[in-house]
Amino acid sequence: MFNNSPQIFDKIISLCKRRGFIFASSEIYGGFAAIYDYGPYGVELANAVKREWWKSMVQYREDIVGLDSAIFMHPKVWEASGHVAGFSDPLAECKSCHERFRVDHLLEEAGISADEKMSEEEINKLFAENREKIKCPSCGKKDFTEARKFNLLVQSNLGNFAEDWTKNPVYLRGETCQGIYMNYKNVLDSVRVKIPFGIAQIGKAFRNEITARQFIFRTREFEQMEMQYFCSPEEEMQEYEKLRQVRWQWYLKLGLSQENLKWHQHENLVFYAKEAYDIEYNFPFGFSEIEGIHARGDYDLTQHSKFSKQDLSYTDARTNETYTPHIIEASSGVGRIMLAVLCDGYSEEGGRNVLKLKPQLAPYKVAVFPLLANKPELMAKAREVFEMLKSDFMTAWDDRGNIGKRYFSQDEIGTPYCLTIDFDTLQDNTVTIRDRDTMQQERVKVGELKDILIGKLS
């Protein structure tokens, strides 16, 4: 079913646009690089991904609470976190076509192990040694500038009315977790939580990504789902292993096939990290990161304590010890997960395109069709069924064309169940319910529909 060829990727991208999932931003002006908008079905899918995450991270957990911090923060936050000095990717420009690229990606594509954390000297040494192997992906020439570190933070003049505001910029957050660190103490002091506990947040992040490729995989504005778990130094690694398992199981529950998921362990750890793994998904362009799960030690709160001169230590009532909490994090992107779900669910069979999404993720859970649009009694009965269902389920209405086409149209956006109201419905108050994946139809009573759907969708 899953096919990881570039042709399939093109088909998925085209389906996303044609069927109202994802649009290029500002398209009438020629688009805006690396920014996308979610259409009517895209926003439902994104909301469903976020809902599933929130349920597993907050609703089902007594030890994790939610947060929604602002996008803008004091600029010192980004100095303390190390982003102003070090949140950068190595950039080189092709001297011939002037396209810009990430040198670590060019090296990796040529089979040379590299990453964005290397120093400018290290990466330039590797780049120079391998120049012959690296062609410009755009024009094919081999003539590049030297790599320079390019900072990914996006700047703004918010609250700064000076002419040269770039001297004192504020930043659009490059990751949501800094808002969590900023509120660690507020949460501790206002909600009855004790270490170990976590804070979860979903929100927009912004990065001046050098290359805009692979559709919504890498965008300059994106949404992150991050959970930061605060624990004692002793329990950090044990909690880390638990979190890895929880997050892996979540992807399986979301319906992603296990063979399209794998762990990637970071070899080149930042100096403070204890351990770092990514979960990668087998996209049509290869295995790539969808989530990072990292053991960060006490780096974050130590830095913020130093820069803010505030005491962020914790006295553990279990041991009477005072320490700076250690943090483990699970950090994922809504767009990347949506893309994984779309790639995993896309299927072509028997002349139809089907998005085999888990029902929890499907934009519409059920569609209602009157058999014939020109029969008022069928239309009235179908409306009655539609009105009955729409308060409990996202319900689609379709009375155009023939039933076969309506089924195929719903299959393509992943609607798991379709109901047809026909002349028998008027006699015995039953409808046909048709299953997206098996295409099996059965006759069920209108009065039992809600319970049947709840059973199928849970």
Query: Could you tell me if 372 and 421 are in contact, meaning their C-beta atoms sit under 8 angstroms apart?
Result: no
Closer to ligand ATP by CB, 330 or 382: give it. Answer: 330
Give the residue from 228, 343, 334 showing the smallest Cα distance to 284.
Answer: 343
332 binding ligand ATP? (CB under 6 A): yes
By CB under 6 A, which span of 60-68, 138-146, 327-335, 434-442 interacts with ligand ATP?
A: 327-335
Shortest Cβ distance from residue 268 to ligand ATP (Å)? 12
Closest CA to 230 of 191, 278, 269: 191
CB of 221 to ligand ATP, least distance (A): 8
By the 8 A CB rule, do 104 and 150 touch?
A: no
The pair phi, psi for residue 425, each rounded to 5°, is -55, -40
HEC sequence for 269-326: CCCCCCEEEEEEEEECCEEEEEEEEEECCCHHHHHHHHHHCCCCCEEECCCCEEECCE
Q: Which of 176, 178, 331, 432 binds ligand ATP (CB under 6 A)?
A: 331
Binding map of ligand ATP across residues 138-177, x = CB under 6 A, - = no contact: -------------------------------------x--
Interaction between residue 291 and ligand ATP (CB under 6 A): yes
User: Shortest Cβ distance from residue 288 to ligand ATP (Å)?
Assistant: 7
Min CB(5)–ligand ATP separation in Å: 22
Q: Which stretch binds ligand ATP (CB under 6 A): 141-149, 230-238, 330-338, 342-350?
A: 330-338
Q: Which CB, 333 or 370, lies closer to ligand ATP?
A: 333
Q: Does 109 bind ligand ATP (CB under 6 A)?
A: no
Choice between 134 and 210, CB closer to ligand ATP = 210
Q: Whole-angstrom Cα distance, residue 418 to residue 432?
A: 8
Going by C-alpha positions, the residue among 441, 415, 447, 446 that lies closest to residue 431 is: 446
19 versus 294: smaller Cβ distance to ligand ATP: 294
Q: What is the DSSP string of 225-283?
A: EEEEEEE-TTTHHHHHHHHHHHHHHHHHHTT--GGGEEEEE-SS--TT-SEEEEEEEEE
Rank residues 277 and 314 by Cβ distance to ligand ATP and give the closer one: 277
Among 38, 197, 222, 346, the residue binding ligand ATP under the rule CB under 6 A is: 222
What number of H helices and E strands is found in the chain? 14, 23
Q: Does 201 bind ligand ATP (CB under 6 A)?
A: no
Residue 219 interacting with ligand ATP (CB under 6 A): yes
Query: Does 370 engage in binding with ligand ATP (CB under 6 A)?
Result: no
Residue with tokens 């947040």: 201
Q: Which of 203, 284, 325, 333 binds ligand ATP (CB under 6 A)?
A: 333
Separation of alpha carbons 100 and 387, rounded Å? 53
Q: Is 70 left (phi over 0), alpha (psi -120 to 50) or beta?
A: beta
Q: Which residues bind ligand ATP (CB under 6 A)?
A: 175, 207, 209, 218-219, 222, 224, 289-292, 331-333, 335-336
